[in-house]
Amino acid sequence: MGGILTAAEWQALLLSLRVALAAVVFDLPFAFAAALLLARCRFPGKWLVDGIIHLPLVLPPVALGYLLLISLGTRAPLGAFLLANFGVRFVFSWTGAALASAILTFPFQVRAIRLSLESQEAGLSDAAGTLGAGALDRLFTLHLPLAAPGILAGVITAFAACLGEFGAIITFVSNIPGETRTIPLAIYTAIQSPGGETAAARLAAISILLALAGLVLADSAGRRARASIGR
């Protein structure tokens, strides 16, 4: 590789993409389940569940990073348990960055998917029922495909938000080149070092290009998804 980008820039870029992808993929099934719960079910305490799901939107990322550090650090009970029994260590690892990003961007996915589920005509589900489809059948042949535009929108928004994550990552998993130094952390590092303005500007440019590419992709994918369900 190389060429236009330096090795360190490639490293930060690929790491950012890896962290964001892992976070989004990890979130998706949970986000769909949560969206389904909020869109279709009535139960006591729903407001509380709704609030908890949306908490990351209003929680300072640094606070979340701190909470993760004290609960998943290797000397914390849960962190020690995971390390001893599963060999899983989140602190100072890119997986920790992905976990923090996943938690922070979870609400974006839930909201988009919930909206697309709520906008589905209830009558279609009834019609599928009279045609012999049970609840699970309807989920996979009706609700899931009809929610495709919402799922796509949620995934892309969450992915973009992951790329910008800073506070939680630096607090929880620190700023380790090649392991946890994503583009925002690399920009921060460049600014902190004397004469790093050029490097910071280049990284910022990469961020902008990435964001633009994401927007274009989201638009065309969204159009295609909507066309597939006849909207």
Partner 1 sequence: MKDVTLKHRRAGFALEAEFDLHGARVTALFGPSGAGKSTIIAAIAGLFRPDRGRITIAGETVFDSQSGIFVPPRERRIGVMFQDLRLFPHLSVEANLLYGWRRAASRPARGSADKVVELLGLSQLLKRRPHALSGGERSRVALGRALLMGPRALLLDEPLASLDAARKAEILPYFEEIVRETRIPMLYVSHALDEIARLADRIVLLNGGHVLAEGPVFEVTSRLDLFAGTQLIPGTVLPATVLRHDEAHGLSEIVAGGEVLVVPRVTQSPGGEIRIRIDAEDIMLSLSRLDAVSANNVLPAFIADIRESGPHADVQLQVAGARLVARITRRSLQRLGLSPGMPVFAVIKSVTVGGREG
- Give contact residues for partner 1 (rule: CB under 8 A): 121, 123-124, 126-134, 137, 141-142, 145-146, 148, 228-231
CB environment 115-154: b (16+ within 10 A), e (fewer): bbbeebeeeebeebeeeebeeeebbeebbeebbbbbbbbb
Q: Give the shortest CB-111-to-partner 1 separation in angstroms.
A: 22
d(CA 45, CA 188) in angstroms, rounded, equals: 42
> Which of 93/120 has CB closer to partner 1?
120
The string of DSSP codes covering 118-163 is HTS-HHHHHHHHHTT--HHHHIIIIIHHHTHHHHHHHHHHHHHHHH
Q: Minimal distance in Å, beta carbon 139 to partner 1?
A: 14
| Intra-chain end-to-end CA distance of the chain, in Å | 42
Between 55 and 127, whose beta carbon lies closer to partner 1? Answer: 127
| Residue 228 CB-half CA count within 13 A | 15
What minimum distance in Å lies between the beta carbon of 39 and partner 1? 18
- CA–CA dist 73, 78 (Å, integer): 8
Least Å from the CB of residue 228 to partner 1:
6
Q: Which is nearer to partner 1, 77 or 145 (CB)?
A: 145
Q: Sign (positive/negative) of CA torsion 70, 71, 77, 81?
A: negative
Cβ at position 37, least distance to partner 1 in Å: 22
Task: List the structure tokens of 138.
Answer: 């309807």
Q: Which is nearer to partner 1, 217 or 229 (CB)?
A: 229
Minimum distance from residue 231 beta carbon to partner 1 (Å): 7
Q: Decide whether 76 or 139 has the Cβ nearer to partner 1.
A: 139
Query: Closest CB to partner 1 among 145 and 178?
Result: 145
Please, which residue, 205 or 227, has the CB nearer to partner 1? Answer: 227
Task: Give min distance, CB of 116 to partner 1, in A.
Answer: 12
Query: Do the Cβ atoms of 54 and 107 come closer than 8 Å?
Result: yes
Quick one: angle between helices 46-58 and 94-118, nearest 10?
130
Inter-residue contact 191 to 198 (CB < 8 Å): no
